[in-house]
Amino acid sequence: MKYCAFCGKEIESETKFCPHCGEEIEKDTFGFSSNQKAKKTSKNYQLETILGILAIIFSVLNYLGVIFVHLVGIVLGSIVLSLVNKDKKEDNTYSQVGYVTGIIGLVLGIAAVIIGVMLA
């Protein structure tokens, strides 16, 4: 059996239109086979994106003269990576923007710590 790429319901292989949603089924556009699961979007998708961006902002503020805010960037970056790893384990779709910005915020925050230690 195959599944409709539009609604995800089970359909016959030879079907030209989905009997459930009415969408036209094109060849090779069946979303997934019966032994695969559809990936769910993470409930933390937007949170991962927002926290990743904030991690960069707080880490960069340290370079602009606001002291100790890079520690917030490190914490936020760590939280984003933790949420993304949880989503990967559960086979959910995670925020790639959040993942990348979380890493960047974490690296910038750690670099600020290293520079601060070297200058002290």
Q: Block means of pLDDT (10 residues each) for the chain, length 120 residues?
A: 76 82 67 55 92 95 91 95 93 92 95 90
Question: Which pLDDT belongs to residue 71?
Answer: 94
Question: Which pLDDT belongs to residue 33?
Answer: 47
Question: Which pLDDT belongs to residue 75?
Answer: 96
Question: Which pLDDT belongs to residue 34?
Answer: 44
Question: Which pLDDT belongs to residue 1?
Answer: 65
Residues 107 and 56: beta-carbon distance below 8 Å: no
In this structure, the answer to whether residues 50 and 13 fall within a common structural domain is: no
Q: Domain range for residue 33? A: 1-38
In this structure, the answer to whether residues 62 and 112 fall within a common structural domain is: yes
Provide the number of structural domains found in the chain. Answer: 2
In this structure, the answer to whether residues 6 and 56 fall within a common structural domain is: no
Record the pTM. Answer: 0.66
In this structure, the answer to whether residues 60 and 103 fall within a common structural domain is: yes
